[in-house]
Structure 1
């Protein structure tokens, strides 16, 4: 394709998608250090002082919490081997909290309920802005598609930018990463635009190609197929489950109707509400068995409470993990004290690890702090590209108009 055509494509996409990419970039930069910022401004919630007494046992902690919230139905508990870390307890919620429940941060030494998290509403809005331009209701899908199309435009912009500035890159590759302040006007804007673009190009391609993972099902499925990894199935119908596992082998509640009856396809059977219900003693036994099994320090561990049955499912992140998606899962039967399944992230082949790490790749966290900072800077610099791009566009058309007048 002729260079002039690539030039037109670059400028047309830059002008049409520039504002959307600016919004997506700035919101992405804001989200880059969300976890660190939230933890910093909520130290009283995440960090507790260590007294001379030992931590309360899981049973004691849950009993004290249940005393403070007698009507609460506890869904799960998350804890850490770090002596200064608070514990979180999730309970069933209603309305907008029905899906994720309500999470309380608790002092593991006293069972005191700690202050609620500050700042999460702001970052929740930033995420909505980043993913679907903060549109609500039926317009959310429209916002999602606008962001997706702009993301595709970013890929084309990055590649067409290489073509447009290929002469400079080919002439002196390493010099193409620099620009000089002695240049004035359009020459300065052009060299700065291209030089900074060379630095952030890998970040933009990585962010765009991973960001499309959440935009299109066909793209999502294609990535799994290319990687040779089976795509996880969610909301599997009851009739497709392994009959040998039983309804509660994964420690999950079977769907019920308003009369507390389990619904398995067309079959409805009454579930006793007072029999075989797990007790806090069972939870204590499960946590003790978990600690005995893994025998290592962990950053966090979570366990969901089954409504009945003896199999407990844990997910945990060891303290040496490089990023938050290196999650391991462990299923334990407290009746037989056996390990049903132990799925370690480190044992997975690279292709499966990468498919489990799409979000850390997208944010740069996969590459550690340097990658996280690099993605933050690249996202923030989207403002620079939008502004200089528009300035170059205006400057170019002004020059054309002046030439026509003369």
Structure 2
């Protein structure tokens, strides 16, 4: 919960302050070498040719400046010990305390003008400090700098790895990643590298923003905060001489003798200066203020200060940098700390590069945020409005009287989609409908219903979908009086299983036994048969007395060509069948999330078709027409179920091909998150008794060549999508079931959700450690709290995943109590029921049924 809160704060502050911080960072980097660049672009203004004659005395230079600008006050004079440097004088603008810097030839006293480069960098400084809008701009940059503290520290907290001593977890940028994982990796690693510079920049930058912050720094340093000198102001109203301006500080007002005395007194005390700043007395008769750098100064802001009495040359309030306490030196060096020069040139470079990274954070942070928003919108848009907001109260009342209750039970999302499509047809015909998963339908709602539709699928061999297990085991084991209920049943299944539509038939029988009356015989859909769907619409319209708009079942995305770019054998030497990692480059617009499936249209190999046609009168290269496409006989046969014999001579090939059924699609769990840039599969070869490979696995692992296009499409599988919250996730699986679990791990690691526990089983650790490097890296980075792997053939007697679940029963129960979800992926026979039984022992049968109903126990088994 705490991590979730900090994650929300991190991105909220990041997107609100990111642009300001990007501007501040970019301008800060530009100011890193402003002095050197200004001098380089200001030759003839800031620098002069060295003469044989000595420079003019300071009093005379001041006199020359006063002659050239008699109406302007000299607010500051900068003199260096370098003979080629011009003298800088800051001349007042109007009556304000601010001024413009001009340069004077120290040998002739001639005004050289202003540095255009200096004006540019002063503008950049204004952008850096207050976005050129004094007042409100200063408050904006100050607030953004305060948020930089929160961003830096919360970012560190969010990515804190489990093993803090692993340098790869902190500093490794994985260039193989694509999409969101790469952006997150780049964002997090760079954030770690620049964390200390950013904290230093923020700490020192706020010195100029808030008085309370400045006072806090002085208190921490153990130094008394100096009183700031303020320029003279206009006299208050009512004083004698009101309406006349008070005398404002002007260095040129100092007499030549006074200035000479002050200069002589200073140089006697400080003969080895490199740069000295002279400021006028703040009040008539007051001392001149002198700030200087010694030749031993460690950086450009290691200032020493004194006051010199202009009349007598007496030194007052001398404060040398070398004699300060450590805290005093740090407070004097705030600017040098801010730009990094306190640590030498290496520090300047580090701070400059860190500042340049700020726009990178802004861009990557916004890309991650927009991608996250886009996925949330896509997920929300994929469900009808009623699913997001629920039916209004009046609709629920209508359903109880004249409307229709629609209950669905779906494992992979097909039944749910048909339920929403049915509800849409009823609403279009003016029949109010309330749609609910069976898990949310209780005895009271079912007893109050007058008309109900049930659209349910059968999972495995006659079992209910996971979400309907509690309904089946609790409600359907009770006796209810439903004499007023009229219902219709649409049951989905696969006739390859012995108990075809087993759950639908069981539900139909139970409803009849409770007194419910079927409006018409159940309609059973075998593997998505469109004819059954059309029959459902027709019979439904007849029963309700409202003709329905006939529609086709929503078939999802179209099949597209995906390029096979990687294929690696993951278990060489294993006693099990070969298992391959496959990666495909997606076509434009392809999207998926963890838990989704991919449907593959396999093909026969050209060699297989050639063998089939061998001995026939027909050759593979015979031209044929299939639909609107011209192709060859061999290519057309690669997509069809081959009959027992090749076509005879004289047969109409077009008609003969039209009678051949297309090859069935094969379905696989996707092993990668959508942001990884590639769609990954983990496929184990299937071998028949005659040694031939399975249709789908053979095509993917041997038939298709690298670089070849494979026809596939993503099918949404909402029944195995990740939990809506960032709470813990226990992932359990075996064999190639690791594919679906790996996708969830990749997605959660990329989102910074680290409370993940993987329990995985295979045969031998030496050969069957699928994705070992990736799993270990995630664990080292803190992406997995726990990783338990069980290898059945490495010990006697063999231990399996379900055994590890039983051993960890207490920990699993604790995770579930803290809100964790359980996801199982792998083989339906053996592993899935055994793990189900072990989980029931660990947390209780009723608790496991409740988790299923809540969507916290989900399975993708096959």
In the superposition, the TM-score normalised over structure 1's length comes to 0.80
Is residue 376 of structure 1 aligned with residue 352 of structure 2?
A: yes
Task: Supply the distance in 2 between the matched residues of 1:125 and 1:347 (Cα, whole angstroms).
Answer: 36
**8 Å Cα contact 1:278/1:307 also seen in 2:** no
Q: Pick closer, same or farther for the CA change 1:323–1:392 going to 2, 3 Å.
A: same
Is residue 133 of structure 1 aligned with residue 127 of structure 2?
A: no
Task: Supply the distance in 2 between the matched residues of 1:188 and 1:213 (Cα, whole angstroms).
Answer: 36
Task: Supply the distance in 2 between the matched residues of 1:75 and 1:128 (Cα, whole angstroms).
Answer: 20
Q: Compute the displacement of 1:118 (Å).
A: 0.5
1:340 aligned residue (301, 310, 316): 316
What residue in structure 2 maps to residue 119 of structure 1?
A: 117
Q: Compute the displacement of 1:337 (Å).
A: 4.8
Task: Supply the distance in 1 between the matched residues of 2:8 and 2:184 (Cα, whole angstroms).
Answer: 15
| More deviation, 191-200/85-94 | 85-94
Task: Supply the distance in 2 between the matched residues of 1:171 and 1:103 (Cα, whole angstroms).
Answer: 52
Q: Compute the displacement of 1:318 (Å).
A: 2.0
Is residue 282 of structure 1 aligned with residue 280 of structure 2?
A: no
Q: Compute the displacement of 1:2 (Å).
A: 3.0
Q: Compute the displacement of 1:165 (Å).
A: 1.2
Task: Supply the distance in 2 between the matched residues of 1:72 and 1:111 (Cα, whole angstroms).
Answer: 16
Task: Supply the distance in 2 between the matched residues of 1:4 and 1:65 (Cα, whole angstroms).
Answer: 64
Q: Which digits, 9 at most, give the CA deviation of each residue in 1:192-225, with x for residues without a partner? A: 1111111111111111122222332222222222
Is residue 152 of structure 1 aligned with residue 146 of structure 2?
A: yes
**8 Å Cα contact 2:258/2:311 also seen in 1:** no
Is residue 298 of structure 1 aligned with residue 274 of structure 2?
A: yes
Q: Compute the displacement of 1:75 (Å).
A: 4.7
Q: Pick closer, same or farther for the CA change 1:23–1:313 going to 2, 3 Å.
A: closer
Q: Pick closer, same or farther for the CA change 1:262–1:145 going to 2, 3 Å.
A: same
Q: Could you tell me which runs of 5 or more consecutive residues in structure 1 were left unpaired when the two chains were aligned.
A: 237-252, 272-276
What residue in structure 1 maps to residue 16 of structure 2?
A: 16
Q: Compute the displacement of 1:232 (Å).
A: 1.7
- What is the alpha-carbon root mean square deviation over aligned residues? 3.2
Task: Supply the distance in 1 between the matched residues of 2:74 and 2:143 (Cα, whole angstroms).
Answer: 42
Partner of 2:225, secondary structure, is coil
Q: Pick closer, same or farther for the CA change 1:170–1:76 going to 2, 3 Å.
A: closer
> How many residues are paired up?
373
**8 Å Cα contact 2:291/2:306 also seen in 1:** yes
Task: Supply the distance in 2 between the matched residues of 1:20 and 1:34 (Cα, whole angstroms).
Answer: 21
What residue in structure 2 maps to residue 274 of structure 1?
A: none
Within 5 Å, which residues of 2 pair with 1:288-367? Answer: 288-304=264-280, 309=285, 311-333=287-309, 336-367=312-343
**Bigger-Rg structure (1/2):** 2
| More deviation, 36-45/144-153 | 144-153
More strand by share: 2
Q: Compute the displacement of 1:191 (Å).
A: 1.5
Q: Compute the displacement of 1:398 (Å).
A: 4.0
Partner of 1:302, secondary structure, is strand
Q: Pick closer, same or farther for the CA change 1:50–1:12 going to 2, 3 Å.
A: same
Is residue 192 of structure 1 aligned with residue 186 of structure 2?
A: yes
What residue in structure 1 maps to residue 159 of structure 2?
A: 165
Bigger relative contact order, structure 1 or 2, given CA contacts below 8 A and separation 6+? 1
Partner of 2:164, secondary structure, is helix
What residue in structure 2 maps to residue 246 of structure 1?
A: none
Partner of 2:116, secondary structure, is coil
| More deviation, 321-330/61-70 | 61-70
Q: Compute the displacement of 1:254 (Å).
A: 6.8
Task: Supply the distance in 2 between the matched residues of 1:44 and 1:211 (Cα, whole angstroms).
Answer: 34
**8 Å Cα contact 1:224/1:231 also seen in 2:** yes
What residue in structure 1 maps to residue 368 of structure 2?
A: 392
More helix by share: 1
